[in-house]
Structure 1
Amino acid sequence: MSDDRRMPNILVTGTPGTGKTTTSEMIAQVTGLNHVNVGELVKAKQFYESYSEEYDTHILDEDKLLDELEDMLTDGGNVVDYHTCELFPERWFDLVLVLRSETHVLYDRMVQRGYNKKKLDENMSCEIMQVVLDEARESYAPEIVVELQSNTVDDMESNVDRVKQWLDAWKEQHKA
């Protein structure tokens, strides 16, 4: 898919609370890429099978989501944010950003969101064990996976600047 695209697709992933949506919105604003918030898309289009009271979240219908995203991502020009990455085909993305946060920062963000204890504990364990980073490294070519710290607004702005530089280089290389 990437050879036919006029613009790249970027995946921004990480444990809930690492700043994926904020960073993705900032990237979209600076670059003109289309922001695709997968969590919101799932809710809006009801791409879920059921609801888990235990984790206070919907259970994803992967097939419906992937069918929808296939069409959306074909031409490129998207920054996609979601808390997991292994379900997406490697061919969809030219750059995969894995946002990481220090545990005390992440904990405070999750408490602020009102996460229940089970959800908070599970997500904290995932960040400590770098689950999303490992999934990204297993699912995508190593040269497109970039781990970025996302603890402060300065971190986010720096990350957006790096993406802008990467996009400029991509355009030059692909004459987009």
Structure 2
Amino acid sequence: MIIAITGTPGTGKSTVSSILAESYHVIHLNEIVKVMGFYSGIDEKRGSLEVEMDELEAYLREVLREHDEIIVEGHLAHLLDAGYDIVIVLRCRPSILRDRLRSKGFNEDKVRENLEAEALDVILIEALEGGFDAVYEIDTTERTANEVAACIKEIVEGNVEEYLPGRVSWGDELEKIVDELLREGV
């Protein structure tokens, strides 16, 4: 089984994947990009790597041939055509996500961009439009990493009702987020 764990930065992908590494082989896409040099430069405004997606996808396909039970973790996972059996989008309430991103040292432009993406369901929509057979979402806001890992195990076991797309919505926070960002001049 090939499982993709994706989501906006700060939603808990790496932490949860580390827990699941006890049962699965885990590929951390960000590490692969850096170690293998699958990037063409650095986006100075965002402070992020400009990833060579074709190279990353080709490498990933080779690695996937070697493992039966594998998790592919990263905010780009859902953009790669890797024959996933399950795609899981981790979500986090934007007001909490903002604090997480700032504590990671993200600059304010990158914080704003990621809050907008989370509030507007960008990664979920991209995953749903990606043609995958099974896409689920988990709200990580008030769950520990161990609890999120348990949710993922539930999904793998077929207990998916609670995690169907559309159950997580930040509409109640959207206006508040926009107002705060405007006040902060972000």
- TM-score range (shorter-chain normalised) is 0.7 to 0.9
Aligned runs of 1:81-160 on 2, under 5 Å?
81-89=73-81, 92-141=83-132, 144-154=134-144, 156-160=145-149
Quickly say closer, same or farther: Cα 1:109–1:118, change in 2 above 3 A.
same
Please, which runs of 5 or more residues in structure 1 have no aligned partner? 1-7, 170-176
Quickly say closer, same or farther: Cα 1:130–1:165, change in 2 above 3 A.
closer
Q: Report the alpha carbon displacement of residue 117 of structure 1 after superposing the two structures with TM.
A: 1.3
Q: Give me the whole-angstrom Cα distance separating, in 2, the residues matched to 1:49 and 1:21.
A: 24
Q: Give me the whole-angstrom Cα distance separating, in 2, the residues matched to 1:167 and 1:139.
A: 20
Point out 4+ residue stretches in structure 1 off by more than 3 angstroms.
165-169
Please, which runs of 5 or more residues in structure 2 have no aligned partner? 159-186
Contact 2:41–2:50 (Cα < 8 Å) also in 1: yes
Q: Report the alpha carbon displacement of residue 49 of structure 1 after superposing the two structures with TM.
A: 0.6
SS in 2 for 1:127: helix
1:31-50 Cα distance to aligned partner (Å, 9 max, x none): x2111100011001110011
Q: Give me the whole-angstrom Cα distance separating, in 1, the residues matched to 2:90 and 2:4.
A: 11
Q: Report the alpha carbon displacement of residue 59 of structure 1 after superposing the two structures with TM.
A: 0.3
Q: Return the TM-score normalized by structure 2.
A: 0.78
Contact 1:85–1:135 (Cα < 8 Å) also in 2: no
Contact 1:85–1:136 (Cα < 8 Å) also in 2: no
Quickly say closer, same or farther: Cα 1:82–1:17, change in 2 above 3 A.
same
Q: Give me the whole-angstrom Cα distance separating, in 1, the residues matched to 2:118 and 2:56.
A: 25
| Letter paired with 1:28 | A
Q: Return the TM-score normalized by structure 1.
A: 0.82
1:17-63 Cα distance to aligned partner (Å, 9 max, x none): 0001111111222xx21111000110011100111111101100112
Identity %: 30
| Letter paired with 2:20 | I
- For the pair 1:61 / 2:57, whether they are aligned, the reply is no
Q: Which moved more, 1:76-85 or 1:92-101?
A: 76-85
| Letter paired with 1:77 | E
Match of 2:71 among 64, 74, 79: 79
For CA contacts below 8 A with separation 6 or more, give which structure has more relative contact order.
Answer: 1
Q: Give me the whole-angstrom Cα distance separating, in 2, the residues matched to 1:43 and 1:160.
A: 26
- For the pair 1:24 / 2:17, whether they are aligned, the reply is yes
Contact 1:98–1:147 (Cα < 8 Å) also in 2: yes
Q: Give me the whole-angstrom Cα distance separating, in 1, the residues matched to 2:52 and 2:105.
A: 25
SS in 2 for 1:92: coil
Q: Give me the whole-angstrom Cα distance separating, in 2, the residues matched to 1:9 and 1:37.
A: 14
| Letter paired with 1:18 | T
Quickly say closer, same or farther: Cα 1:136–1:40, change in 2 above 3 A.
same
CA RMSD of aligned residues (A): 1.9
SS in 2 for 1:164: helix
Contact 2:42–2:50 (Cα < 8 Å) also in 1: yes
The match for 1:163 is 152
